[in-house]
Amino acid sequence: METKAGDPGAFAQFDLNRVDSPAFVVDAAKLRANCKILADIRDAAEIKVLGALKAFSMWSTAHIIGEYLDGVCTSGLWEARLASEFYDGEIATYSAAYKPEELEEICRLSDHVIFNSPDQLKRASLILENARAGGQDFDVGLRINPMVPTGKVAKYDPSSPGSRLGFPLDQLTEEHLEGVDGIHFHNLCEQDLEPLKRTWDAVFDALEPYFGQLKWINMGGGHHITRADYQRDELIQFLRDAKADTGAEIIIEPGEAVALDAGILVGTLLDVQWNGMPVGITDVSATCHMPDVIEAPYRPAMLGEVTDEEHVPIRLGGPSCLAGDVIGDYRLPVPAEPGARFAFLDQAHYSMVKTNTFNGVQLPSIYLWDSEIDQLELVKSFGYEDFRNRLS
């Protein structure tokens, strides 16, 4: 799988030696540009846009998100707490399943509480009644499964057969919508408008009998709106039509689009050996720092990678003991020797929130850089104590 992102932008001029290694570097200027595009879509279509914390929850940039978007969507209690502590605007919370002991606080923190099935919602009814009786004000939503596969990678496609995400659309009845204020569906992954239209065609037919009683329809995330080739004008018209047809408020929840091409992961080549081809060991790990490389799998783009096929590629992998900790084969823009710095592009979203310390591998430092004024700030670095304190 090849990423559709990877525009170096201002990082083409960034000196990689200015930061620790490994390190995430996020460009505040690019974040603002992405959020402005999303806000422009929101204003033109007269909808709401929430940023998905599951993709990008670097809360030191919450002020940027809050300046442009209507709020955030969260995936459970801890993200909802983070949202209430640092982010402005609405909080919409969806989880595949809630623990009963956490639901009362989720209701207190959230404007929308979205359930994965009518049975879950029914079992939670007393908790919801008590929360409202106690003065909590929130809407209740139901996530549906459109049953329209659109993804290239089945395990990332919520509409794959046997998916646990959302209530199957062909089972939905009037009874299931009793007490439901809004409908949520999320069916995309790094996609443009056409898969959204196909999804909406199926959802529209199923929901049409209930138009007028639904306060809102949340079309989820996976919208690659900030990618240069996205059909933004068509999207605006599509959203306006959906609002007019349904009489409901329309919400979208982009995650990746918020931080698309806004961050890099800087690494250092530690060792080089020969095993049928050049093999490099780096302080960047696929399994610890970019697990989607293995899970998808996909090949992250490299800053300044040489395109000349006569240039000998080197296979890069992490320092862990996992045989599969391989990032990919690259034609480096620098000599393939120990101490060389390099960077992978488009690593602000998902990579940062998925990092782990398997094998005691060091977590990358986090830097915030504003390319417009060349201001660089070390937001956080990690030490042995961070590894130790996760264990017992």
pLDDT digits (tens, 9 = 90+) for 227-281: 999 999 999 999 999 999 999 999 999 999 999 999 999 999 999 999 999 999 9
State the average pLDDT for the chain.
97
How many whole angstroms separate alpha carbon 202 and alpha carbon 220? 15
Taking each helix axis from N to C end, the angle separating 232-246 and 28-45, rounded to the nearest 10 degrees, works out to 40
Can you read off the two tokens belonging to residue 70? 């209507």
The torsion angles phi and psi of 12, rounded to 5 degrees, stand at -60, -25
Q: For Cα atoms 91, 93, 98, give the angle at the middle one, nearest 5 degrees.
A: 150
In percent, how much of the chain has pLDDT > 70? 99
How many whole angstroms separate alpha carbon 25 and alpha carbon 294? 22
The torsion angles phi and psi of 45, rounded to 5 degrees, stand at -90, -10
How many whole angstroms separate alpha carbon 364 and alpha carbon 386? 12
Residue 375 has pLDDT above 90, yes or no: yes
Over residues 69-124, the pLDDT tens digits come to 999 999 999 999 999 999 999 999 999 999 999 999 999 999 999 999 999 999 99
Classify residue 219 by its DSSP letter: -
| CATH numbers and ranges of domains, the chain | 9-25+262-388 (2.40.37.10), 46-259 (3.20.20.10)
Beta-bridge mates of residue 379 = none
Over residues 148-161, the pLDDT tens digits come to 999 888 888 999 99
Those residues whose C-beta lies under 8 Å from the C-beta of residue 204, and which sit 6 or more positions away, are 245
Over residues 131-145, the pLDDT tens digits come to 999 999 999 999 999
Can you read off the two tokens belonging to residue 321? 């003991």
How many whole angstroms separate alpha carbon 190 and alpha carbon 208? 27
Over residues 178-221, the pLDDT tens digits come to 999 999 999 999 999 999 999 999 999 999 999 999 999 999 99
Can you read off the two tokens belonging to residue 184? 């949520």
Question: Distance from first CA to last CA of the chain, Å, rounded?
Answer: 38
Burial class of 373 by CB neighbour count within 10 A (0 to 12, 13 to 18, 19+): exposed
For 92, how many CA atoms within 13 A lie in the half-sphere containing its CB? 30
Pairing of strands 263-274, 341-345: antiparallel
What is the pTM (predicted TM-score) of this model? Answer: 0.96
Helix runs in 157-231, H state only: 193-207
pLDDT at 1: 61
